[in-house]
Amino acid sequence: MTLALVTAAGLVFVVAEMTLTFLAARRLNNFGIVDVVWSLGFTPLVWIAFAIASLRTYDAKLNAHPEWNWPAALTLSGLVTVWSVRLGSHLLVRVRSHHPVEDVRYARLRQEWGSATNRRMFGFFLLQGILQLVLATPWIMVLLDTTPAPTFRLSGCNLAGLSLWLVGIVGESIVDRQLARFRANPINRGRICQVGLWNHSRHPNYFFEWIIWVAYAVFALSSPWGWMGLLSPLLMGHFLINVTGIPMTEALSLQSKGEAYREYQRTTSAFVPWFKRKVG
C-alpha cells in the first residue's frame, strides 16, 4: 500500500513538475531549462517519498514504531539532495550563461520536429518526468525498508554505496572544474579539453555521473527488493553511452572540431578513464 502511495505521489509530482517546466520553457523560448529542472527535481521527489515512508511508521495515536530503517533512509535522502542540488546548480549556471541561445541539442530538435515541436516537446518533457520516477527505484526500496534500526547504524552495503557516492561526487566536481577552467581561457577557444581526467576519458563527467547511480543501487542492496535498484545504473548507463550522452555530444564535437576530434577519439577512452592508446 505504501509503495502504491509513494508511486502515485511521485507520478503526480513529476507530471506537475514537467508541465510547469514546459510552460516556462515556451515562455522563455528555451527548452534547455528542462535539464536544470530534471536534476533539481530529484530533491523534492526523494523527500516526498521520505515523508510518506516516515508517516506510515506512526499509528493513529502518533506513537512511533521501530519498524523502519530510518538511518539508511535519512542518509540516502541526504546524498540524493547533495547530488541533485550540485548538478542542478552546475547546469543552471551553464544554461544562464548561454541564454537566450538554446542548447544545440534542443535547437536541432526544433528543426527536426518543425510545426509539431510543441506537442512532441511536451511529450518529451513528460517522458523525462517518468524517467525520474523510474530512476528513483533504489531510493524507494530503501525508504520502504522495514528492517528495524533504532540506532544510527548503516549496513555494509550502505557503507559501500556511500563510499562509491563520494568517489562519484568528488570525481564529477573535479572534471567539471577542469573543463570550466579550460574553457575560461580564451587561448583554448575551439580546442579540445585534454587536461586532467579529460586526457584519459572523452567523457569523464558521464563516467562519474554513472558511478553515482551505481552507488545508489549498491546502497539499496541491503534492503528487501533492493536488487530492483540495479535498474537505475543500467538505464543511466544505456542513456549515457548509447542514446543522449556520448553519441549526441560526439556528433556535435565532430562537426565543430573535425579531424582533431577524430584523433582524440582514436587515442582516448570514450567512457572509463584509462591510459592513452598509441596510434600508428
Q: List, run by run, the mean pLDDT of 10-residue segments along the chain (280 residues).
A: 88 98 96 96 96 72 60 94 97 89 88 93 96 96 79 86 98 96 93 96 97 98 92 96 92 91 96 88
Query: Do 206 and 248 belong to one domain?
Result: yes
The pLDDT score that the predictor gives to residue 61 is 43
The pLDDT score that the predictor gives to residue 30 is 94
CA distances from 70 to 1, 78, 147, 274 (A): 19, 12, 9, 39
Q: Which residues pair with 267 in a beta bridge?
A: none
pTM over 0.85: yes
Query: Do 145 and 217 belong to one domain?
Result: no
In total, how many domains does the chain have? 2
Query: Do 214 and 83 belong to one domain?
Result: no
For residues 194 and 264, the answer to whether their CB atoms sit within 8 Å is yes
Query: Do 128 and 188 belong to one domain?
Result: no
The pLDDT score that the predictor gives to residue 100 is 84
The pLDDT score that the predictor gives to residue 80 is 98
Residues 66, 69, 73, CA angle at the centre, nearest 5°? 135
The pLDDT score that the predictor gives to residue 279 is 72
Q: Which domain holds residue 248?
A: 154-280
Query: Do 100 and 13 belong to one domain?
Result: yes
Q: Which of 130, 150, 170 is the last residue of a domain?
A: 150
The pLDDT score that the predictor gives to residue 280 is 64
Query: Do 163 and 39 belong to one domain?
Result: no
Query: Do 10 and 143 belong to one domain?
Result: yes
Query: Do 142 and 233 belong to one domain?
Result: no
Query: Do 3 and 39 belong to one domain?
Result: yes
The pLDDT score that the predictor gives to residue 186 is 92
The pLDDT score that the predictor gives to residue 269 is 97
